[in-house]
Structure 1
Amino acid sequence: MKTVTSETQLLYTTVQMYSSTMMNQTHNSDCNSRADFQFYLFPVVYTLVMILGLPGNLGALWFFLFKRKQRTASDIYLLNLAVADTAFLCTLPFRIHYHWQHNVWKLGNFACVLSGIGFHANIYASIFFMTCICVDRYVATVYPLTYLRLRNTRCTMLVSSTFWLVYAVALLVFFLTGPPDSEGDSCFENFSQEEWERRLGPYSVLCLVFGSLLPSVVILVCYPLVARRITHIRSSTAGKARRIIYIILAITLVCFLPYHTVHLLHLLRRMKYIQNCAWADAIYKARRITMALVSFNSCLDPVVYYFSTNNCKWSMPRLRWLRPNRTRGIYYISTDL
């Protein structure tokens, strides 16, 4: 009788441990979602992005800091964009090592924090400063006389400084409330459900609304209006301005919009609005792809710098943003966007 009771107790304990393990696996791996292709996708993509993006962004930093003697408002935004891209590109070796080790972080907490900050700073800084350039161009095109009175680099520097200050304060508050609680040996991912409910949920909602959705809407609305406005202007400068507009729209549509869309689905899944395991698996795989895709903005941004600097040459500008055409009484946009 005691043997039967002991065997029953052992069986009950085993079943209980198995159930607990399965629940933890379901929670930790999000319904056993797997994407083994990421161990090859990220190292290849990040290496390619570094090779293509680092020379262009370092060249842009050198140009805007040392070659450009009189910086325009857009130059300030482009400079900040180059800073964000360069910082992100310099942390990519950490990410390559991480994914090559099958998402096991072995480089210490400081390198993990540095890598995570670089990745997110690049995303939100890029979309923010592209939005600033968009608004600047919209005002210059639609209200040229007003723009001539308002334009100055002090306002631009104030806007840029405010962004970095807000970002730094948000990071400080985040880390003061506790270290990131990633499960296992992960770095800035696979956070526990408790971590999501405690602080990651509210942070993600704010970042998604104010750092992703609103800037994307501004770009997707304002830039087509600017392009439509200058379509009727027959000049080489207007044609180059349209090309820059199309490049930024392409970066937004190809790199940022897919990432933000999937990030919204990821947020809904982690907040348990999406609980279907098939959907969870699809969202997990899509998130890995869009995280690789969004990094390409760092090697596409130098194309914007290149076309934005006086006749596609990184040399001293001969034209101002807006030059009055006294013979026709109209204003047109120069290549220095």
Structure 2
Amino acid sequence: MQIFYLLPTTYSLAMTLGLLGNLGALYIFFFKMDQKSPSNVYIISLAIADTIFLCALPFRVHYHLNDNDWIFGEVMCRVTGTVFYANIYISIAFMTCICLDRYIATIHPHKYLQLRNTRWAQMVTAGVWLVTGVAALTFMVTCPAPDLLGTPATQSDGRKRRNCFENFTQDEWKTSLMPYSTFSLVFGALLPSIFILVCYPLVARRIARIKTATARGALRVIYAILAITVLCFLPYHVVHLLHLLWRIKVIKNCLAAHVIYKVRRVTMALVSINSVLDPLLYYFATGRCKWTFKLNFRWLKLRRRRGVYTISDNLKDHWW
């Protein structure tokens, strides 16, 4: 039974820490940084996507704590489910953009200076949001049971539970889920992941030969993205592939199916940790900027029997 508490516990932790980190990052980008670079455009979009994702987690926490019984209606099931899964592909897309930006800035600095003066980053960002948005809305409206929608508000197991994104029928997998899941797995996950995991270690090796501050910053960004991809996204995609193979009866062993189900919940928890680790990526990608808070405390007077003590603290320029 402990596995059923994994998701609500992890989601609650991710929601608390992730909102602090991402909202803090958005505050800094919008109110403390005057210079807007292409890298910052991608980072702001990633932080916005993470914030939207984290705002949807309370509904998922309640769902799992309520014995997987959805009480918020079909529309909210569709919305929160879409946000949850779309965030995976949006995050990978923007992390790929950040890596490309750091690569061009380091290896082709003159070309990068030209791109900085154009709206190329805004166009790419708008394209990512447009493609993912249209894809999500299309599947939400036209497909009866795609991977993002499931069969919300249905009864199952004779226990009158209203499932959300769970317990799909075999026909639903063959007609709607399989084509969408295959497309999203190949183009939304597999190709970007290969690009990050194969190309960027080679890029990092080349950048490591350059002894400049920009090159060191680019290395930190690449290593952070590699770590997030391997820890948060790669396990989910591998297990999701096994889950698809089980659904189409390529994997028929019952024990293997049970293990896949358990491990899939663990990988879904790891996906949510991405929103907690992303603020570290923001910091590495903007290392030349001072992410500081100035805290001013008033005079604190402590009176005791044998004297009066006055304490003054003025904390400045603390990194976080």
Q: TM-score range by the shorter chain?
A: 0.7 to 0.9
**Quick check: 106-115 or 207-216, which moved more?**
106-115
1:203 alignment counterpart: 180
Instruction: Using the TM superposition, give the Cα deviation of residue 312 of structure 1 relative to its aligned residue in structure 2, in angstroms.
Output: 6.0
SS of 2:119's equivalent?
Answer: helix
Provide the rounded CA distance (Å) in 1 between the counterparts of 2:111 and 2:218: 20
User: Deviations along 1:94-143, whole A, 9 cap, x unmatched?
Assistant: 01101111211112122212211221121111011001111222233333
Letter in 1 for 2:201: P
Select 1:244's aligned residue among 221, 245, 259. 221
Structure with bigger strand share is 2
Which residue does the alignment assign to 1:137? 102
Q: 3-state DSSP class of the match of 1:295? A: helix
Instruction: Tell me the alpha carbon deviations over residues 34-81 of structure 1, each in whole angstroms, 9 at most, x when there is no partner.
Output: xx3332101111111112111110011222233332311111110110
Write out per-residue CA displacement over residues 243-279 of structure 1, whole angstroms, 9 at most, x where no aligned residue: 2221111101111110111111111111222122111
Percent of aligned positions that are identical: 59
Q: CA separation in 2, counterparts of 1:295 and 1:208?
A: 18
Higher Cα Rg: structure 1 or 2? 1
Determine whether 1:92 maps to 2:57.
yes
- Residue 284 of structure 1 corresponds to 261
Whether 2:185 is the aligned partner of 1:220: answer no
- Is 170-179 or 275-284 further displaced after alignment? 170-179
CA–CA distance in 1 between the matches of 2:33 and 2:118? 13
Q: Distance in 2 between matches of 1:152 and 1:217?
A: 30
Q: Which amino acid aligns with 2:282?
A: Y
Q: Which runs of 5+ in 2 are unaligned?
A: 146-150, 156-161, 293-320
**1:66 aligned residue:** 31
In structure 1, the gaps of 5 or more residues are: 1-35, 316-337
Q: Is the 8 A contact 2:28 2:291 kept in 1?
A: yes
Structure 1: distance between partners of 2:34 and 2:234: 35
TM-score (norm: length of structure 1):
0.78
Task: Indicate the larger mover: 267-276 or 93-102.
Answer: 267-276
Counterpart of 2:142?
177
Give the letter for the 1:91 counterpart. Answer: A
Once the two structures are superposed, the pairs formed by residues 7-18 of structure 1 within 5 Å of their partners are none
- In the alignment, which residue of structure 2 is the partner of 1:313? 290
> What residue number does 1:81 align with?
46
Q: Which amino acid aligns with 1:300?
A: L
For the Cα contact (< 8 Å) 2:25–2:47, is it kept in 1? Answer: yes
Inter-CA distance 153–125: structure 2 relative to 1 (3 Å threshold): farther
Where 1:296 maps in the other structure, the secondary structure is helix
Counterpart CA distance in 2 for 1:176 and 1:107 is 19
Amino acid at match of 1:171: A
Higher relative contact order (CA 8 A, sep 6+): 1
The counterpart of 2:133, out of the listed 122, 144, 168, is: 168
Say which of 273, 278, 282 aligns to 1:296: 273
**Contact conserved, 2:144 with 2:176, CA < 8 A, in 1?**
no
Q: What is the aligned partner in structure 2 of residue 334 from structure 1?
A: none
Tell me the matched-pair count. Answer: 280
Q: Retained in 1: the 8 A contact 2:232–2:270? A: yes
Distance 1:73 1:236, change over 3 A: closer
Aligned to 2:239: 262
Q: Is the 8 A contact 1:73 1:152 kept in 2?
A: no
Q: Distance in 1 between matches of 2:204 and 2:143?
A: 46
Contact 2:99–2:221 (8 Å) recurs in 1: no
Give runs of ≥4 in structure 1 deviating > 6 Å: none
1:48-67 residue pairs with structure 2 within 5 A?
48-67=13-32
Distance 2:175 2:13 in 1: 37
Distance 1:226 1:178, change over 3 A: closer
CA distance in structure 1 between the aligned counterparts of 2:289 and 2:32, rounded to whole angstroms: 15
CA RMSD of the aligned region, Å? Answer: 1.9
2:120 to 134, 138, 155: 155
